[in-house]
């Protein structure tokens, strides 16, 4: 039987053990309550209230091979074609008509645009790492060259309209034509610069991408894209449709052996413009409508719009390498001068030059006697 001294010694130890046991039970109860509370919160949460991230990995993988391939082809063809046009103009000093001046400016605009394509390819493939200054310069050069080329195409159609349908009046003001063409070309570049100012000001680096838009629902995007559709597609299309339709009517009344060929050339010019520009502008219009409505929450629909934009934009970019062939090389005189330039540079033999040019320089005075872009193929 334990003594009093032993009981006094065991009592504090038992009390300490009992207090520790009670504290442990209390702590376990609080943890159990907290776990039940957390389980309740997670089990009762509505995940539909959380925004879901739209995964665009497939579009990114598509851009990795599509953009570099087509941008490289367009860039090389654009540089080669437009450089040949510029060299031909300066080598033979062919600035004799308004269309010559417009064509030279068009080649410079398309050449500038072609030089920006490698930067566009880099921007679509990897994170932008060239800084804000290069970012702004890329968009500025692109927009200025884009607007100027569209305006120049319109002025070329207007000049052809007056030179064919109003031949007598155009010949009477022939001495003033060169001055008017140079002044109007300068005005075109200034107008293109003014219309490009919004993108120059707002272009920045967002999410490691060079873009003038902060998001897909940016209101600035609506105004920029809407003005681009009106000024760089609808207006040139309206002018070209009127001018070339009247030219075709005039040619149909003429008794010239090159009439049918000239009409085919005009139809080719209009067809190239429509095929290159219409698909992209339709997609751009629909994208603008979606943006004006606040964007879309359908991820699949958004991805399809990106695919359509990428493909149609590449088709629209083809204009910079097709313009030299449609507006310059198709003319008999210009084509002859180009072949002579290639012969003088050592790129063509004398025999081949005579084989290509012999009998091809027929008179086309009834259509466009002084222009480098006669409608005869």
Average pLDDT of the chain is 79
The CATH number given to 57-358 is 1.20.1070.10
Cα(46)–Cα(186) distance, rounded to whole angstroms? 62
pTM for the complete prediction? 0.79
pLDDT, tens only, 141-173: 999 999 999 999 999 999 999 988 888 777 777
* Overall average pLDDT of the 98-111 stretch: 93
pLDDT, tens only, 262-307: 788 888 888 999 999 999 999 999 999 988 888 778 888 888 998 9
Q: State the helix-helix crossing angle for 131-165 and 235-253, rounded to 10 degrees.
A: 30
83, burial (CB in 10 Å: exposed 0-12, middle 13-18, buried 19+): middle
Q: State the helix-helix crossing angle for 299-317 and 98-125, rounded to 10 degrees.
A: 140
Q: Is the pLDDT of residue 109 over 70?
A: yes
Q: Where are the alpha helices (DSSP H) in 204-258?
A: 219-229, 235-253
User: 26-40, 48-62, 182-196, 344-358: lowest mean pLDDT where?
Assistant: 26-40
Of 353, 332, 319, 339, nearest to 265 by C-alpha is: 332
Return the pLDDT at 242. 95
Q: Tally helices (H) and strands (E) across the chain.
A: 15, 2
CA distances from 220 to 133, 201, 215, 286, 292 (A): 21, 12, 10, 16, 10
Identify whether the C-beta of residue 82 lies closer than 8 Å to the C-beta of residue 110.
yes
Cα(267)–Cα(94) distance, rounded to whole angstroms? 26
Return the pLDDT at 10. 45
Classify residue 51 by its DSSP letter. P
Q: Where are the alpha helices (DSSP H) in 166-234?
A: 167-172, 174-195, 197-202, 219-229
Residue with tokens 């309740």: 40
Cα(368)–Cα(247) distance, rounded to whole angstroms? 12
Q: Is the pLDDT of residue 14 over 70?
A: no
Return the pLDDT at 25. 45
List of E strands, 21-102: none
Of 359, 355, 377, 375, nearest to 367 by C-alpha is: 375
Residue with tokens 């002859």: 336
What are the backbone dihedrals phi and psi of residue 116, each rounded to the nearest 5 degrees, phi first?
A: -85, -15
Of 146, 17, 326, nearest to 334 by C-alpha is: 326
Cα(232)–Cα(315) distance, rounded to whole angstroms? 16
pLDDT, tens only, 233-258: 999 999 999 999 999 998 888 766 56
Domain ranges of the chain: 57-358
Q: Is the pLDDT of residue 175 over 60?
A: yes
Angle at 125 (CA atoms; ends 123, 130), nearest 5 degrees: 40
pLDDT, tens only, 302-331: 889 989 999 999 999 999 999 988 887 777
Q: Is the pLDDT of residue 349 over 80?
A: no
283: Cα separation from own chain's centroid: 12
Q: Is the pLDDT of residue 80 over 70?
A: yes
Classify residue 52 by its DSSP letter. P
Of 328, 310, 329, 326, nearest to 271 by C-alpha is: 326
Classify 359 as helix, strand or coil: coil
Of 374, 339, 372, nearest to 96 by C-alpha is: 372
* Overall average pLDDT of the 10-29 stretch: 47
Cα(161)–Cα(131) distance, rounded to whole angstroms? 46
Cα(67)–Cα(57) distance, rounded to whole angstroms? 15
What are the backbone dihedrals phi and psi of residue 102, each rounded to the nearest 5 degrees, phi first?
A: -65, -40
pLDDT band at 22, cuts 50/70/90?
very low
Cα(253)–Cα(350) distance, rounded to whole angstroms? 41
Identify whether the C-beta of residue 262 lies closer than 8 Å to the C-beta of residue 177.
no
């Amino acid at each position: 039987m334990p003594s009093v001294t032993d009981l006094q010694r065991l009592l504090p130890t038992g009390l300490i053990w009992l207090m520790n046991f009670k504290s442990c039970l209390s702590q376990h109860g609080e943890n159990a309550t907290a776990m039940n509370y957390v389980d309740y919160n997670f089990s009762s949460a509505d995940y539909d209230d959380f925004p879901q991230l739209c995964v665009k990995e497939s579009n990114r993988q598509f851009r990795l091979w599509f953009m570099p391939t087509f941008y490289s082809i367009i860039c090389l063809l654009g540089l080669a074609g437009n450089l040949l046009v510029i060299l031909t103009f300066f080598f033979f000093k062919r600035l004799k008509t308004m269309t010559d001046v417009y064509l030279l400016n068009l080649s410079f605009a398309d050449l500038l645009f072609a030089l920006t394509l490698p930067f566009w390819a880099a921007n679509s493939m990897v994170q932008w790492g060239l800084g804000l200054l290069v970012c702004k310069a890329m968009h500025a050069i692109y927009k200025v060259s884009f607007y100027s080329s569209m305006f120049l195409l319109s002025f070329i159609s207007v000049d052809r309209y007056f030179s064919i349908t109003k031949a007598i009046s155009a010949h009477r003001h022939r001495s003033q034509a060169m001055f008017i063409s140079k002044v109007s070309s300068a005005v075109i570049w200034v107008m293109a610069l003014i219309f490009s100012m919004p993108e120059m000001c707002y272009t920045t680096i967002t999410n490691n991408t060079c873009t003038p838009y902060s998001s897909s629902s940016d209101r600035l995007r609506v105004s920029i894209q809407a003005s681009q559709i009106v000024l760089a597609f609808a207006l040139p299309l309206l002018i070209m449709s009127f001018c070339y339709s009247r030219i075709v009517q005039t040619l149909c009344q003429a008794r010239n052996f090159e009439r049918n060929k000239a009409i085919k050339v005009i139809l080719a010019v209009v067809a190239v413009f429509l095929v290159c520009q219409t698909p992209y502008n339709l997609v751009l219009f629909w994208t603008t409508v979606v943006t004006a409505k606040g964007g879309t929450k359908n991820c699949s629909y958004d991805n399809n719009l990106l695919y359509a934009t990428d493909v149609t934009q590449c088709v629209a970019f083809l204009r910079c390498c097709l313009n030299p062939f449609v507006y310059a090389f198709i003319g008999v005189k210009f084509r002859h001068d180009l072949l002579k330039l290639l012969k003088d540079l050592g790129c063509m033999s004398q025999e081949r030059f005579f084989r290509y040019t012999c009998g091809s320089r027929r008179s086309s005075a009834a259509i466009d006697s002084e222009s480098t872009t006669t409608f005869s193929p």
